[in-house]
Amino acid sequence: MSSPKELLRDEGVVLLREGDHPYSPEEINDLIALCQKLPRPGGIGQENRLGVGRILVDPVDIARGERGYAPATVEAPEIAQLILDIVASERAMAYWADCFGQEEVIVRRAQTNFLHQGDQVGWHDDHEANPEYMFSIVVGLTDEYTGGEFLAQITPDDQRRFRVNRGDVLIARAALQHAVDVVESGQRISLVLFTA
């Protein structure tokens, strides 16, 4: 069996369950309560049907600029800060630095993705927004949905599907091609950190 670190190095993606990541069940509960309170304007582009609650915006967002969208804004900064205090605590960031083999990990952008029935995220890699991103951290906040799997193109002929449940954390290398499949029913909520 490969360790999570080895899987991340070899395949560019790994799904971590409770106990294998730094967030306690209580922190996950607090995160979902806070994220639910965020205003949620739409995502960019026709292939991205979702609501996005902005928590931390990156002044560099190439994909957004190329598509002619105005810079993103954090609409509820007090709630956003409470979310960051949990998800990007010193302890959590030290954990991710060790996992990623970096001296330090910095959150450059953070958002909550809200996908309802019929919503999806089209194929992309996270370098399209900023080539400085190293890894994306996707925290699952809901169980009550069908469809909505995280799709990862590991190699041209190796595509994987990951179900990111409440309390799971998926890590993906920023250069990895990925998408979120159409949500068939229910609501899929995830908290995503883009790190460098």
Residues 90-149 that bind Fe ion (CB under 5 A): 126
Residue 13 is a binding residue for ligand AKG (CB under 6 A): no
User: For ligand AKG, which is the closer residue by CB, 40 or 178?
Assistant: 178
Q: Which of 134, 110, 82 is nearest to 193 (CA)?
A: 110
Residue 58 is a binding residue for Fe ion (CB under 5 A): no
The one of Fe ion, ligand AKG, none whose footprint includes residue 150, by CB under 5 to 8 A per kind, is ligand AKG
Distance CA 193, CA 170 (A): 11
**Residue type at position 194:** F
In the list 178, 183, 193, 195, the residue contacting ligand AKG (rule: CB under 6 A) is: 178
Q: How far is the CB of 106 from ligand AKG (least distance, A)?
A: 17
Q: Which of 65, 83, 68, 71 is nearest to 41 (CA)?
A: 71
The one of Fe ion, ligand AKG, none whose footprint includes residue 14, by CB under 5 to 8 A per kind, is none
Beta strand spans in the chain (E): 13-16, 51-56, 107-115, 121-124, 135-140, 145-147, 150-155, 158-162, 169-173, 177-180, 183-186, 188-195
**Which residues sit at the interface with ligand AKG, rule CB under 6 A?**
113, 121, 126, 138, 150, 164, 178, 180, 190, 192
